[in-house]
Chain A
C-alpha cells in the first residue's frame, strides 16, 4: 500500500511540476513576442525535474524494499 501511495504521489507530483514548469516558462497571458523571460529563474528546470520525477516513480515502485525483512 505504502509502495503504491508513494508511486502515485510521485507521478502526480511529477505532472504537477511539469505543469508549473511549463506555465512558468511559457508566457501565456503575456505578450508572446515581448516577454521572453520565464516567470522565475530556472523554471524550465522545474519542467525537466517533473519529467524525471514522474519516470522515477517506476524506480521507486520496484526498488522500495519491503517493510518486513526476510522471506
Chain B
C-alpha cells in the first residue's frame, strides 16, 4: 500500500499561481473555490518589505480533524492517506470546515456554475469553433465522476452539487491512473513534488530525508501529509496581498 504525500518547496515557489489554475481546470471547480490556494504575503514596513508565497493545498492530515467531526462519515481517509468527501453522503452541516485549521473546505452555496469561465465567449463563432472543434465547454473530465479505490465511494471530484462540501482530492482520479496531481504536473519550477513516502526509494522519500521539512500549524496535532521545505511558517504579521476574487 502506498502512502501519498506532497512536498512544497518554498525556496522555489515564485507565487505564479499556475497550480491554482491547473487545479481549477482539472477539477472543474466553481467560482471562488480554491482547492489549491497560493498566499502572496507581504511583511515589514515600507520600504523594508518582503514578499513570500505559500501554496496551501488540503494537508490530507493523518489525524484529520475534519474526518473526526464529520457526523455521517462523508469525510473519509483512504488507506493511502488521501482524505476525500463522499458527496453522496454529505449532509452539508459544514462542521468539517470549522474543524479544519487550514481553511481548505469549500461549500457549494449555490448550484455550481460549470460554465462561469466561458460565459463571456460565443461558442458558435466559427473562428472559435475552428479551435474547439465544436466542443462546448464546460468540458467535464469523465474520470471525475468515477468511483475510485477499494471503497468505491464518490470523491467530490465530480460531484459538485448544491449543498455539499468539497475540497482538494490530491487529484485522486489522476493518482489512480499513475499520474501526478494537476498542480504538481503544472508547476514550472518544481516547487511541488508528489509521491509515495512509504517506499524509501521514491524520489520524494529521498527528498524528505535529505532536506529539513516542517508542517503547517504543527501545533494543532493534525499530522499533515504535506511537507514544507525552506521558508518559514507564516506569522499573523503577514499581510495578504493580491487576493483573487474569492467571494461569491
Contacts and interface: CB of A to CB of B under 8 A. Distances in A.
Interface string B50-78: 00000000000011100110100101111
A36 B73 CA distance: 5
A34 interface: yes
11 contacts: A33-B62, A33-B64, A33-B67, A33-B77, A34-B76, A34-B77, A34-B78, A36-B67, A36-B77, A37-B73, A38-B73
A32 interface: yes
A34 B73 CA distance: 10
A34 B67 CA distance: 8
Contacts of A36: 67, 70, 73, 75-77
Interface residues of A, number: 6
Interface in A33-47: 33-34, 36-38
Interface of B: 62-64, 67-68, 70, 73, 75-79
B79 A34 contact: yes
Interface string A15-58: 00000000000000000111011100000000000000000000
A8 B78 CA distance: 44
Nearest to B61: A33
Contacts of B75: 36
Contacts of B62: 33
A32 B79 contact: no
A27 to B, nearest CB: 10
User: Can you list the 6 inter-chain pairs with the closest CB atoms, starting with the nearest?
Assistant: A36-B73, A36-B76, A34-B77, A33-B77, A33-B67, A37-B73
A37 B152 CA distance: 13
Given A33-B64, A33-B67, 16 more contacts: A32-B68, A33-B63, A33-B68, A33-B77, A34-B76, A34-B77, A34-B78, A34-B79, A36-B67, A36-B70, A36-B73, A36-B75, A36-B76, A36-B77, A37-B73, A38-B73
